[in-house]
Structure 1
C-alpha cells in the first residue's frame, strides 16, 4: 500500500508511466469494482493516444514512486457546434478524502480549456467524464465542480454456451484488406450518435487496431451489391481474463448504416459473432449501450440475449 505522505508531488504524465498507471488503476478496481484491469501495455496505448496531449492535458500525483492520482484529457480530432473533451482520472483508495480528486478535476477542466482553444476554438466546449454510477463519492465530487448527468449507459452481458451457427455469406471477418471498410462504416454508422465524431486513421489504429483487438471475432456485413453496411468489432483484455478467470469478448463497436437499420443486419452480426466467440472458447460476450441510442440498440441487444448489468453516467460540464 502506498505511504501516507500529506504532500504528493505533481507532474504531467509521460509514456514512461505505463506501469505506474496500471498499478494505480488496478488498485482502484480492487475497491471500486469497475471490472477493468490493466497491464502496462494497455495503459501505454492510452498514453500514446494521438489526441492526448500529455504535456498540456495531463497531471499525476505521486507519493514517492507510486502514482496516487491522475487526470488525462482527450480532445476530439474534429468538432462542429460542440467540442466534447473527455476527462479521465482517478485517485488511489488509500489517498482519497484529501483533496486530490478535487485538484485533479479542476486541473482537468483548466487543461480542457487550453486544448479546446488550441484545436477547436470556434466550437462550444463541453467537458465529459464517464464513470460507473456506483463509485462512492463520485457524484458528490462531480456536482461540486459543476458537472451534471448528461447521458446514461449500461453494460450488458451474454453468457456463452452452445450457440447455433449462422449461415450468412454476406458476413466476412476483418482483414488488412477490409480494415478501411470497417473504419468507414463505423464513421458513417455513428454520424447520428450522441457525441460521436469520425475516427481518423491514427485514432482508429490507436483505439481499435491495438493489442486488445480480436480480428477473428470482428465482422463486416455487405448488402446484396457488395457494399459494406454494418460492422461488429470485438476486443478482449488479457488482464481481465487473468484477474477474473472469465474470458470476455467485448463487442466494442456494433453499427449499421442508418438506411439499413431495422432490417435484421445488426441481429445477424450479433448472432454470427456470438457463435464465433463461443467457438473460440470465450466464456461470455459484453458491450456497453447508450440508453438513448437513436437505433434502439438496447432492444436489439436484449433480443439477442444480452442482460443489463453495470450502469454508467456521462457527467458533463458546459463552459
Structure 2
C-alpha cells in the first residue's frame, strides 16, 4: 500500500461537486489530505478542513473513508492517525494560541466506526438526528417570505451567522467560505428563503441543498434543508414554522420526493420540537466524535 497527497470528497457526489469541495480555501490539500492506494487502486482517503476563525477552541474537521472491500485491515486507523497529525500541522499554522479539537461527524450505524474512533482516543460528544418529511399534504402559508437572490445573498449569510451564535461548535462564516460551502453546485436557490419582519429586517432563513448523485443512486429526489435558523430575538414567534411550511410546499411543487434535515436535539433554539410539529420524523442518528489534543 502507498500513500499519496490528494484526497476526495465524501458521499455520492459528482466530479464537479468534488472539485468544489477539495478546492475549498480551508481544505489545504498540500498539508491536509492523503489518499491510500493498493497498487494503482485508491482504497481510502482523509481530508482535513480547518476553521477560518476560532474562539477558545479551534475545531478541525476530519473527513475520510475506506472502500468497503478493504475495511477491517487497519487502513482506517492509519488514515485517522495521519489525519490527526495533519490537523495538528494546520492548527499550528492558523490558530496556534487556541485549544485544538479534532472532530469526526458520521452516521451512528457504520459498522466498526465506534471501535475505530475509540481506539484512536476519540469520544462521542454530541448526537444529531436526521429527520425526513414525505412532502404529502403540505399547505401554502401566508408570511413575508422571499426567495434567495444575488441581492439578498449577504442577508442570508449575516442572518445565518447571527442565528447560530449560541449553537454548539458554530463560528461565523466569512463570504468566501459561504460561497464555497453553501452557494455552490448543490445549492437550490428556488427552495431557499428569507423571512422578514414587518419592518423589512431579515429575521430567519432556510437554505436547501440537493445532490444529483444521490438522486441517481437512490431514485429519490431529496430537498435537504441544510440551514434553518431564526435570530434569537425573533424565536418562538412562528418564523421557523412559516419558513418550513413555505419550503415544504415549494419542494413538493417542484417535484421533490421528500425533504430532510439534521438537527441537534440539544440546540437552545428548541429546533427538534419545531421540526416534529412540521411533520418531520427521525430516521437516523449521527455522532460527533472529538479528540482533544
Instruction: Calculate the TM-score normalised by the size of structure 2.
Output: 0.98
CA distance in 1, matches of 2:89, 2:198: 48
SS of 2:200's partner is coil
Say if 2:236 is the partner of 1:236: no
- State the alpha-carbon separation in 2 of the partners of residues 167 and 79 from structure 1: 39
List gaps (5 residues or longer) in structure 2: none
Contact 1:219 1:232 in 2 (8 A): yes
1:115 counterpart SS class: helix
Query: Residues of 2 paired with 1:204 and 1:66: CA distance?
Result: 34
Match of 2:287 in 1: 313
Asked if 1:196 corresponds to 2:170, the answer is yes
Work out the CA distance in 1 between the residues paired with 2:261 and 2:232.
Answer: 20
* CA distances 1:167-222 after superposition (whole Å, capped 9, x unpaired): 21x10000000000000000000111111111111111111111111101000011
Q: Please say if residues 161 and 283 of structure 1, whose CA atoms lie closer than 8 Å, have aligned partners that are also in contact.
A: no
Alpha-carbon separation, structure 2, partners of 1:263 and 1:109: 43
Report the CA distance between 1:306 and its aligned residue: 0.1
Q: Which structure 2 residues correspond to residues 286-297 of structure 1 after superposition, within 5 A? A: 286-297=260-271
CA distance in 2, matches of 1:163, 1:87: 38
1:263 aligns to what SS in structure 2? coil
Q: Of 128, 140, 144, which aligns to 2:115?
A: 140
Q: Count matched residues.
A: 293
Correspondence for 2:274: 300
User: In structure 1, what is the equivalent of residue 253 of structure 2?
Assistant: 279
Q: 1:147: how far off? A: 0.3
> How far apart are residue 161 of structure 1 and its match?
2.5
1:210 aligns with 2:184: yes
Query: In the alignment, which residue of structure 2 is the partner of 1:9?
Result: 2
RMSD, aligned CA: 1.1
Moved more, 297-306 or 39-48: 39-48
Match of 1:106 in 2: 81
1:66 aligns with 2:60: no
State the distance in 2 between where 1:142 and 1:245 align: 32
Q: Deviations over 1:33-92 (max 9, x none)?
A: xxx422112221211111001111111101233210111110000001000100011111
